[in-house]
Chains A and B, each alone.
Chain A
């Protein structure tokens, strides 16, 4: 279990450095960042946040169910976690599609370079996390987790919560942080 915390800690530090570098670039080019930010769909970003929070909650419930040896409940919660993970992927794919359709790419301007980089790295985390949740769901269906054997499930759950908390910062950073008038 210690290994996963080292990974989560290192990943968190890397993202903190990325947030810092984003803010430095924004500081140098605030007007461009603001103009491009306004072209993002904040409603979709907010919906993505609600999806990931729900996903994280379902996975937390699965861990609680396993701790209490309520082994019928855990697979249902984990399946919910997988499906909400897929919903986030679908939502982000739609958003990328909308941007590409109007000719917006990472080369458009510095803001969009950051937008695609940060959301792309995060999306890679979501894909990995959804895969890990699918693995955990299959194992829980086979009753391979219980109160005395849940370290793998807790590692997967902790990674998934990391994915959630990174988005909680990324969403306002990219979509909501307007420039002072």
Chain B
């Protein structure tokens, strides 16, 4: 089948499965909040990275362009998780 020969199709399948894991799995009360929130945002960062590299086709872009977007993903994850941990820290 033509679609299955496309890398974008396999990336899409992975992204859909990851979304189901976070929305209907990790977000539920069965998981400790720290495990859930860290897991949800690490998966989100990974998803964003795949969209950038495979859908936006930056996998083979010049290194400075690719790095700018990779740094954005890491910065956003650090900001969100950093504040989340700061909010639960005592005092």
B72 and A172 contacting across the interface, CB-CB below 8 Å = no
Q: How large is the interface on A (under 10, 10 to 19, 20 to 34, 35 or more residues)?
A: 35 or more
A26 interface neighbour in B16, B26, B52, B83, Cβ under 8 Å: B83
Considering only CB atoms and an 8 Å cut-off, how many residues of chain B contact the other chain? Answer: 43
Interface residues of B in 1-48 (CB under 8 A from A): 3, 6, 8-9, 11-12, 15-16, 19-20, 22-24, 26-27, 33-34, 36-37, 40-41, 44, 47-48
Counted as pairs of residues, one from A and one from B, with CB atoms less than 8 Å apart, the total is: 124
Within 8 Å CB of B33, what residues of A? 178-181
Shortest CB-to-CB span from A20 to chain B, Å, is: 5
Determine if A165 is an interface residue (Cβ-Cβ < 8 Å).
yes
> Which 8 residue pairs spanning A and B have beta carbons closest together?
A46-B23, A23-B83, A57-B12, A180-B88, A60-B8, A60-B55, A176-B27, A165-B51
Which B positions have Cβ atoms within 8 angstroms of A?
A: 3, 6, 8-9, 11-12, 15-16, 19-20, 22-24, 26-27, 33-34, 36-37, 40-41, 44, 47-48, 51-52, 54-57, 65, 68-69, 72, 75-76, 79-80, 83-84, 86-88
Can you list 15 pairs linking A and B with CB atoms under 8 Å apart? A19-B80, A20-B79, A27-B86, A50-B19, A53-B19, A57-B9, A60-B8, A60-B57, A61-B3, A157-B55, A168-B51, A169-B76, A177-B80, A178-B37, A179-B87
